[in-house]
């Protein structure tokens, strides 16, 4: 039992005899499980090449997907605009999932509402839900914009957001000119990055498509920066800092870094920071628009090039050394401003760090998974560090486009890296098989990889593949969402994380007294 003078957490509390007895009786009396030796036999079979061959024949089943659903991305995009309330047309349970998903990653409350469609709406449509929902959301939470997206239920029955929102306005739920951009975001196709792209295109279209008469490219002297689905709050801040160091006028279109990182000062803020709506309205007047994660932003690019008439430079996510160089040189070209001395010094520090750590990272094998621009940029950075990316898995975005870009980059980097294997139609259960049959030194990805690390360790210490947590979501560690992965600063932070994971693993392998400790060095 718990003792008020010695309160225990669930671990080690559940290791005590009384809890172990309850768990044992539950297993014996109710679970009717297989014998332990049969479970172990089956586990070992799932680590074999035979099982991997069967696993990779799967076509109609996804196990542990390396992606989330569209509305999740739509919610994040909406949160990046000033005093905007994300509104999901669908069931309440779906929105509870989106909110808790972000709650667990950002450790912050997330404002998002649902019009709570139930069985009757599934039969008759959700028009009544939309009318009441918009009226109530505006009255209760007083946003300056409500950004509407959908879930599976609304999409399966074919609810038309344009018509529904228009009808709700005719009925007086909200004013005719009240901002209500929308995006159809069916969860059963695409992923979270598709949802972000759809919502941004919806917001941009709402404010600019029919208001282009007085717009002129370059008239406001700014550069538009579109981040895409980005959950490292430090990345928004480092992009702003680099622009300000160069004296460049810019608009960061969708910036949720303040609403998802508000201070604990006794005042609750439902809306904090975000891109002002005037900036998205003025966006077509910019010199040009740079897409920070271009593989994600397919519809956004069509809007920007087709409606705003911007060129949209062909650059990659500004991650690592070369891609950050290219980004800053493009910003300098468009703006006419020189790259700041402070950024040149920062670059030099990153190069110095890469030189210091090269001997420990050279030849180390990394398997990684995540979104298309993230995996592309991180693979490039690993190559710059002298590491070897062995397996790269990306289940979101366009598989053909991603594979083509990855292969071109790998071929240009040298013959060793042509051995990198790419997986664009596979999930984390496929990835698990690879960690057993083609073991790398480390894997890089989100928190879900911890279960793969546990499985590899269960087979034996020599089979363990440690997880380095970079990506989204990170549920089981704190404050990593405030880190930075972009720019030279992001390169420094990722390099520090990678090399110290290598050194920690080396210490772990060499700390046995009088057995391996002749390599347990003080200086690395």
Catalytic residues: 152, 156
Question: Cα separation of 452 and 439, whole Å?
Answer: 12
Asked whether the beta carbons of 254 and 200 are under 8 A apart, the reply is yes
CB atoms within 10 A of CB 276: 14
Question: Cα separation of 397 and 424, whole Å?
Answer: 9
Q: Which residues contact 84 (CB under 8 A, 6 or more apart)?
A: 78, 143, 144, 145, 146, 147, 271, 274
Question: Cα separation of 34 and 39, whole Å?
Answer: 7
Which DSSP symbol is given to 480? G
DSSP 395-429: -SS-HHHHHHHHHHHHHHH-GGGGG-EEESS--HH
Q: Is 189 exposed, middle or buried (0-12, 13-18, 19+ CB in 10 A)?
A: exposed
Question: Cα separation of 263 and 478, whole Å?
Answer: 16
Q: Which residues contact 292 (CB under 8 A, 6 or more apart)?
A: 225, 226, 227, 228, 230, 239, 317, 318, 373, 486
Phi, psi of 64 (to 5 degrees): 55, 70
H or E element at residue 457: helix 449-459
DSSP-derived 3-state class of residue 309: coil
The dihedral built from the CA positions of residue 345, 325, 316 and 492, taken in this order, carries a sign that is negative
Question: Cα separation of 282 and 212, whole Å?
Answer: 10
Question: Cα separation of 341 and 242, whole Å?
Answer: 11
Question: Cα separation of 83 and 275, whole Å?
Answer: 9
Q: Which residues contact 334 (CB under 8 A, 6 or more apart)?
A: 223, 287, 288, 290, 313
Question: Cα separation of 333 and 30, whole Å?
Answer: 69
DSSP-derived 3-state class of residue 252: strand
Q: Which residues contact 74 (CB under 8 A, 6 or more apart)?
A: 86, 88, 147, 149, 183, 185, 195, 196, 198, 199
Peptide bond into 12 cis (omega under 30): yes
Provide the token pair at 414: 């040298």
Q: Is 205 exposed, middle or buried (0-12, 13-18, 19+ CB in 10 A)?
A: middle
Asked whether the beta carbons of 167 and 111 are under 8 A apart, the reply is no
């Amino acid at each position: 039992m718990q003792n008020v003078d010695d309160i225990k957490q669930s671990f080690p509390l559940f290791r005590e005899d009384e809890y172990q007895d309850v768990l044992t009786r539950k297993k014996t009396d109710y679970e009717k499980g297989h014998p332990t030796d049969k479970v172990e036999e089956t586990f070992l079979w799932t680590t074999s090449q035979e099982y991997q061959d069967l696993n990779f024949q799967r076509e109609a089943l996804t196990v542990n997907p390396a992606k989330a659903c569209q509305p999740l991305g739509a919610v994040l995009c909406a949160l990046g605009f000033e005093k905007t309330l994300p509104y999901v047309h669908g069931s309440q349970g779906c929105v509870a999932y989106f909110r808790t998903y972000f709650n667990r990653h950002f450790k912050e409350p997330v404002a998002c509402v649902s019009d709570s469609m139930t069985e009757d709406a599934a039969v008759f449509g959700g028009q009544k839900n939309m009318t009441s929902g918009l009226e109530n959301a505006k009255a209760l939470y007083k946003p300056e914009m409500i950004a509407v997206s959908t879930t599976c239920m609304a999409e399966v029955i074919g609810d038309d957001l344009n018509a529904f929102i228009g009808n709700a306005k005719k009925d007086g739920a909200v004013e005719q000119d009240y901002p209500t951009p929308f995006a159809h975001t069916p969860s059963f196709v695409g992923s979270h990055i598709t949802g972000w792209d759809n919502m941004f295109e919806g917001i941009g279209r709402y404010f600019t498509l029919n208001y282009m008469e007085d717009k002129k490219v370059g008239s406001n002297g700014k550069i538009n920066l579109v981040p895409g689905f980005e959950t490292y709050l430090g990345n928004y801040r480092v992009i702003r800092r680099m622009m300000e160091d160069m004296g460049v006028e810019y608009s960061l279109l969708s910036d949720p870094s303040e609403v998802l990182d508000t201070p604990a000062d006794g005042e609750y803020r439902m809306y904090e920071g975000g891109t002002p709506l005037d900036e998205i309205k003025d966006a077509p007047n910019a010199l040009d628009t740079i897409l920070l994660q271009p593989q994600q932003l397919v519809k956004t690019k069509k809007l920007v090039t087709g409606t705003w008439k911007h060129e949209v430079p062909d650059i990659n996510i500004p991650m690592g050394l070369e891609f950050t160089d290219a980004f800053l040189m493009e910003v300098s070209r468009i703006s006419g401003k020189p790259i700041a001395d402070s950024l040149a010094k920062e670059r030099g520090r990153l190069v110095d760090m890469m030189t210091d750590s090269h001997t420990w990272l050279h030849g180390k094998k990394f398997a990684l998974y995540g979104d298309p621009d993230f995996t592309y940029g991180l693979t490039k950075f690993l190559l710059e560090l002298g590491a070897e990316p062995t397996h790269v898995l990306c289940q979101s975005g366009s598989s053909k486009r991603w594979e083509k870009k990855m292969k071109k980059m790998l071929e240009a980097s040298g013959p060793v890296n042509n051995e990198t294997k790419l997986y664009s139609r596979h999930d984390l259960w496929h990835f698990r098989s690879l960690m057993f049959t083609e073991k790398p030194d480390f894997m890089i990805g989100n928190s879900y990889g911890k279960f793969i690390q546990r499985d590899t360790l269960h087979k034996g210490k020599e089979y363990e593949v440690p997880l380095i947590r970079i990506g989204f979501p990170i549920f089981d560690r704190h404050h990593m969402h405030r880190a930075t992965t972009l720019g030279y600063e992001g390169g420094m932070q990722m390099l520090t994380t990678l090399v110290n994971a290598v050194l920690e693993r080396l210490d772990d392998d060499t700390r046995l007294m009088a057995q391996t400790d002749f390599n347990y060095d003080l200086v690395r």
